[in-house]
Structure 1
Amino acid sequence: MSTQMQLAREGKITDVMRQVAAEEQIEAEVLRDRVARGTVAIPANIHHTNLKARGVGEGLRIKVNANIGTSSTYPDIEPELEKLDEAVRCGADAVMDLSTGSNIDVSRQKIIEHSPIMVGTVPLYQATVRAIREHGAVVEMTEEDILQTIEKQAKDGADFMTLHCGVTREAIERMRRQGRIMDIVSRGGSFIAGWMLHNERENPLYEHYDDILDICEKYDVTISLGDGMRPGCTADATDRGQLTELITLGELVDRAWRRGVQVMVEGPGHVPYDQIEANMKLEKRICRNAPFYVLGPLVTDVAPGYDHITAAIGGTLAAVSGADFLCYVTPAEHLALPTIEDVHTGVITSRIAAHAADLVRGIPGAREWDRRMAEARKQLDWEAQLSLAIDPELAETKRGARNKKGEEACSMCGDYCAVKIISKYFDKPVCPCDD
Structure 2
Amino acid sequence: MMEYTTQMDAAKKGIITKEMMIVANKESMDVEELRQLVAEGKVAIPANKNHKSLDPEGVGQGLRTKINVNLGISKDCASIEKEMDKVKKAIEMKAEAIMDLSNYGKTAEFRKELVEYSKAMIGTVPVYDAIGFYDKEIDEITAEEFLKVVEKHAEDGVDFVTIHAGLNRETINTFKRNERLTNIVSRGGSLLYAWMEINNAENPFYEHYDKLLDICEKYDLTLSLGDACRPGANTDSTDAVQIKELITLGELTKRAWERNVQVIVEGPGHMTLDEIKANVMLQKKLCHGAPFYVLGPLVTDVAPGYDHITSAIGGAIAAAAGVDFLCYVTPAEHLRLPNLEDMKEGIVAAKIAAHAGDLAKGIKGAREWDNAMSKARADLDWEEMFNLAIDSEKPRRYREESMPEHKDTCTMCGKMCAVRNMNKVMKGEAVDIFNNK
- Report if TM-score (shorter chain) is over 0.5: yes
Asked if 1:14 is matched to 2:17, the reply is yes
Mapped to 1, the partners of 2:427 and 2:370 lie a distance apart of 21
Contact 1:167 1:203 survives alignment (8 Å): yes
Please say if 1:358 is aligned against 2:353: no
Corresponding position of 2:76: 73
Mapped to 1, the partners of 2:312 and 2:389 lie a distance apart of: 18
Contact kept, 8 Å, 2:406 with 2:414, in 1: the verdict is no
Once the two structures are superposed, the pairs formed by residues 390-429 of structure 1 within 5 Å of their partners are 390-404=390-404, 407-428=407-428
* Distance apart, 1:424 and its partner CA: 3.1
**Structure 2 gap ranges (5+):** 430-437
Aligned to 1:229: 229
Counterparts of 2:119 and 2:235, CA distance in 1: 39
- AA in 2 matched with 1:62: T
Any idea what SS the aligned residue of 1:144 has? helix
TM-superposed deviation, 1:130: 3.5
Other-structure match for 1:267:
267
Task: Provide the rounded CA distance (Å) in 2 between the counterparts of 1:427 and 1:141.
Answer: 75
Contact 1:171 1:240 in 2 (8 A): no
The whole-number CA distance in structure 2 between the counterparts of 1:254 and 1:394 is 45
CA contact (8 A) 1:284 1:292 kept: yes
- Answer whether contact 1:221 1:262 (CA < 8 A) is retained: yes
| 1:284 aligned residue | 284
Shift of 1:427: 4.2
Q: 1:177 is matched with which residue? A: 177
Q: Secondary structure at the match of 1:245?
A: helix
Q: Residues 318-375 of structure 1, C-alpha deviation per residue, up to 9 Å, x if partnerless? A: 0111110000000110000000111111111100000011111111111111001111
Percent of pairs with identical residues: 52
| Aligned partners of 2:105 and 2:132 also within 8 Å | no
How much has 1:403 moved relative to structure 2? 1.6
Deviation of 1:104 after TM superposition, in Å, equals 1.4
2:266 aligns to what SS in structure 1?
strand
Secondary structure in structure 2 of the residue aligned to 1:253: helix
How far apart in 2 are the matches of 1:92 and 1:425? 42
Equivalent of 2:132 in 125, 129, 132: 129
Q: Which residue of 1 aligns with 2:434?
A: none
TM-score by length of 1: 0.96
Aligned-residue offset at 1:8: 0.6
What's the CA shift string for 1:282-307, capped at 9, x where partnerless? 00000011000000000011101100
TM-score, normalized by length of structure 2?
Answer: 0.96
Give the aligned partner of residue 303 of structure 1: 303
What's 2:344 paired with?
344
SS of equivalent to 1:179: coil
> Which residue of structure 2 lines up, in the alignment, with residue 47 of structure 1?
50
Output the amino acid matched with 2:230.
R
Query: Which residue in 2 is equivalent to 1:388?
Result: 388
Deviates more, 1:241-250 or 1:419-428: 419-428
Distance 1:92 1:192 in 2: 30
Q: Which residue of 1 aligns with 2:191?
A: 191
Task: Name whichever of 245-254 and 361-370 sits farther off.
Answer: 361-370
**1:27 counterpart residue number:** 30
Q: How far off its partner does 1:68 sit?
A: 0.8
Deviation at 1:168, TM superposition (A): 1.3
Distance 2:132 2:272 in 1: 34
Whether contact under 8 Å (2:308, 2:346) holds in the other structure is yes
* Cα deviation, residue 404, structure 1: 3.5
What is the number of residues matched between the two proteins?
Answer: 426
Does structure 1 conserve the Cα–Cα contact (< 8 Å) formed by 2:139 and 2:195?
A: yes
Q: Is the contact made by 1:230 and 1:267 (CA closer than 8 Å) also made in structure 2?
A: yes
- One-letter amino acid matched to 1:311: S
Hey, what's the Cα distance between the residues in 2 that align with 1:209 and 1:44?
A: 21
Matching of residues 86-105 of structure 1 within 5 Å = 86-105=89-108
Aligned to 2:167: 167
One-letter code of the match for 1:422?
M
Report the Cα distance in structure 2 between the residues aligned to 1:190 and 1:110, rounded to whole angstroms: 29
Mapping for residues 200-219 of structure 1, pairs under 5 Å? 200-219=200-219
2:76 and 2:389 map into 1 onto residues whose CA distance is 36
Counterpart of 1:329 in structure 2 is 329
Secondary structure at the aligned position of 2:188 is classed as helix
Q: Distance in 2 between matches of 1:291 and 1:48?
A: 21
Q: Which deviates further from its counterpart, 214-223 or 138-147?
A: 138-147
The Cα shift of 1:222 comes to: 0.2
Distance 1:189 1:138 in 2: 12
The residue type paired with residue 316 of structure 2 is T
